[in-house]
Structure 1
Amino acid sequence: MITLRLNHQQHDFLRTVADRDAHLGDVGDLVRAALADASVHENRATPAPTSGPSDRTGEILQPGTGKAFEVAAGQVLRIEQIEGHQCVDLNVFNRADGRERLHVGRTRGMQGLHPGPGDVLWSNAPWERPIMAITGGTATTDTQFPFCSRLIYSAFFGLRDRTNCQEIQNEAQREYGLDPWDLHESLNLFMHTAPGPDGEPVILRNVARPGDHIEFVALIDVLAVPNVCGDDLSNCSNFGVRPVRVTITPGGPADAERARAAYDRSVVLGLPSPREYPGARPLQRDPGYVAAFPHLPLHPADVAVEVSAEHLDRFARARNTDLYGDDEAAALRDIVLSWAIDRLGAFAGNAWP
């Protein structure tokens, strides 16, 4: 017997795959087929966490949620892994004028595909200026992939009504009067991407460990809106959703120095003279706001599956211990969901019901 630990929306996905495959009777058949096909993984020594989980207080963002934080110029925003392996989407707005916000495309063009310490985040036209500086941390970042949304799950998986970054972000920013059409492309934090065999970017398994983090210094007063990516069907967060910690602290002299160095490096040729644009839209918190994130709560939906000794041996040789250590549940979930998603390719030419 082996137990596959899932949430209810992952279970619904596996049921969908099993129902569409004449060779699979139920989820148990799918698990056994996935184990039979699993490739032996060449495990290496499990890397130690970059830094252990911190004892900071801050605010814990639960899976499927996000939060808008006021960050004054000079303050430090820190986003940190608690359990590891969790992608976070980040939107940023000018608190004095919500029309100015992070422009991921301009940031990519000015700072590269994977901004890190010493780089800045750029705002949209007509402002086009640095609004936050990345001053420290161990996080991987990505500027290439769009946020997950209802469209993605419908088009690629035939699924409806499940956690996704677009709707999480819309709800979190609603606290400050921002509408769904105010959402912008997110900066992807703790997302690990690289060129694939054909040169196109691909999302690799998430390598973030407990304690991994990224720190930003606000260069103007901003509203920063991180959300816990709701994608539990890809490498993005290694087929799971986990909490993260957010803290805001006063910046010290060292933070100011690093922020200034990043700013100076990014605008070495100078910037146009700042201008005021009529119709500013200050962002203010709605005191009556009550969070109402869609598609929650996520219910456990464990599946106990009868397997043979051969299946157990295959799992022991295939499980990715260099990534998951002794967390057998996460390793099994990776094997099974990866197999099911690959299996879905066989139905690519068929319309979803």
Structure 2
Amino acid sequence: MKPKGITPAPQDAAARKAVTPVICYPVESLPRPDLAAYRAVRDDLELVDRVMVPARDAACWPVPAGHFCRILCSEGSQVGDLNLFNAHDFNERLYTGKTRALNGTHVGLGDQLFSNMPYLRPIATITHDTLDWYGFDEFGGSVHDVIGTRCDPYTHNLLSNGGQYHYCCHSNLTRAFAKHTGKALAEASVHIHDVLNVFMCTGFTRDSGQYFMKASPVRPGDYLEFFAEIDLLGCMSACPGGDCSSEHSSDTAACYPLEVEVYKPVRQPRAWTSPALNGYDGTHGL
């Protein structure tokens, strides 16, 4: 338990707390995707790849620029931890921190996923989400978060007083990435980054601000779909927590595989071009 505060509240505490918040990143000037243009080409798609992500394991797959990728719940309620890389430069990858700052704690229809600095550009656009009806519940929970980091064997080791568990999402992603790229495990592990928690229902407790999870509302037939703005390599773990209703890193939770489908549109969205690298000059004031 966190210790209670020990500093007496000042006389003007209520006034300090009542200060109106200011949005950190006003996005009115941020170029927004033409969602109607993306959705206009969704009805005429050719399936070009299908990948099964085994329960308690992970898999990688390519998504060429201009293609759609769907992550499907196929057999039972299951959460997926997703990494995205520039297929030609693994140093450019999904940056959940800036994605969160620009979109919010959870992402959905019309939101864009951004890569890390110095690249910092949209690498994927969410074009369909069958769970968009969920919104935020009474606990402050919602789906598809970019706040959790991924279950990992290092945190498990800390919390279990030395336990060794090899099927956390970090390890699953590491094995899959190493297998796909031919990299050694130690090198592959460094590339694994904070995830988009697909289908996971999460939030922060209002009293302590702790990250919480609850049973995912996903059901067979639900899917999250994104459009690849650049050539991508996807890597996803079917979390050993299953629907994350009880715990991470579990050998007993009911777990199911997830399916991934990649579609090529017959025509590209109107006026679409792959985003350029970030235009900052990199001089940092020198």
TM-score bracket relative to the smaller structure? 0.5 to 0.7
> Is it true that 1:256 corresponds to 2:273 in the alignment?
no
| Consecutive unaligned residues in structure 1, runs of 5 or more | 1-55, 277-353
> Is it true that 1:200 corresponds to 2:210 in the alignment?
yes
Which residue of the partner structure matches residue 191 of structure 1?
A: 200
Residue in structure 2 matching 1:120, options 112, 121, 124: 112
Name whichever structure is richer in helix by fraction: 1
Letter in 1 for 2:61: F
Instruction: Compute the displacement of 1:229 (Å).
Output: 1.1
> Is it true that 1:148 corresponds to 2:151 in the alignment?
yes
Which residue of the partner structure matches residue 163 of structure 1?
A: 167
Which residue of the partner structure matches residue 108 of structure 1?
A: 100
Q: Quick check: 2:51–2:61 contact (8 Å CA) kept in 1?
A: no
Q: Quick check: 1:192–1:236 contact (8 Å CA) kept in 2?
A: no
Q: Matched residue of 2:155: which SS?
A: helix
Whole-angstrom distance in 2 between the partners of 1:74 and 1:162: 35
The CA RMSD over aligned residues, in Å, is 3.0
Q: Deviations over 1:299-342 (max 9, x none)?
A: xxxxxxxxxxxxxxxxxxxxxxxxxxxxxxxxxxxxxxxxxxxx
Instruction: Compute the displacement of 1:272 (Å).
Output: 4.5
Which residue of the partner structure matches residue 242 of structure 1?
A: 256
Whole-angstrom distance in 1 between the partners of 2:278 and 2:68: 26
Residue in structure 1 matching 2:181, options 138, 153, 176: 176
Whole-angstrom distance in 2 between the partners of 1:173 and 1:274: 30
Q: Matched residue of 1:78: which SS?
A: strand
Q: Quick check: 1:191–1:236 contact (8 Å CA) kept in 2?
A: no
Name whichever structure is richer in strand by fraction: 2
Q: Deviations over 1:27-51 (max 9, x none)?
A: xxxxxxxxxxxxxxxxxxxxxxxxx
Alignment of 1:43-54 (within 5 A): none
Whole-angstrom distance in 1 between the partners of 2:279 and 2:97: 22
Alignment of 1:1-353 (within 5 A): 58-139=50-131, 140-158=143-161, 159-174=163-178, 175-178=180-183, 179-198=188-207, 199-231=209-241, 234-235=244-245, 239-253=253-267, 256=269, 272-273=278-279
Instruction: Compute the displacement of 1:234 (Å).
Output: 4.5
Which residue of the partner structure matches residue 10 of structure 2?
A: none
When residues 132 and 274 of structure 1 are mapped into structure 2, their CA distance, relative to the original with a 3 A threshold, is: farther
Instruction: Compute the displacement of 1:194 (Å).
Output: 2.5
Query: Once superposed, which parts of structure 1, at least 4 consecutive aligned residues long, lie more than 4 Å away?
Result: none
Normalised by the length of structure 1, the TM-score is 0.54
Q: Quick check: 1:148–1:166 contact (8 Å CA) kept in 2?
A: yes
Normalised by the length of structure 2, the TM-score is 0.66
| Consecutive unaligned residues in structure 2, runs of 5 or more | 1-46, 132-142
Whole-angstrom distance in 1 between the partners of 2:54 and 2:222: 17
Whole-angstrom distance in 1 between the partners of 2:189 and 2:278: 31
Whole-angstrom distance in 2 between the partners of 1:101 and 1:177: 18
Letter in 1 for 2:75: E
Instruction: Compute the displacement of 1:275 (Å).
Output: 8.1
Q: Deviations over 1:171-211 (max 9, x none)?
A: 11111145211111111101101332414331111111111
When residues 232 and 246 of structure 1 are mapped into structure 2, their CA distance, relative to the original with a 3 A threshold, is: closer
Q: Deviations over 1:9-37 (max 9, x none)?
A: xxxxxxxxxxxxxxxxxxxxxxxxxxxxx
Letter in 2 for 1:84: G
Q: Quick check: 1:131–1:220 contact (8 Å CA) kept in 2?
A: yes
Letter in 1 for 2:279: S
Whole-angstrom distance in 2 between the partners of 1:217 and 1:236: 32
Q: Quick check: 2:151–2:170 contact (8 Å CA) kept in 1?
A: yes
Letter in 2 for 1:251: P
Residue correspondences, number: 213
Q: Quick check: 2:119–2:278 contact (8 Å CA) kept in 1?
A: no
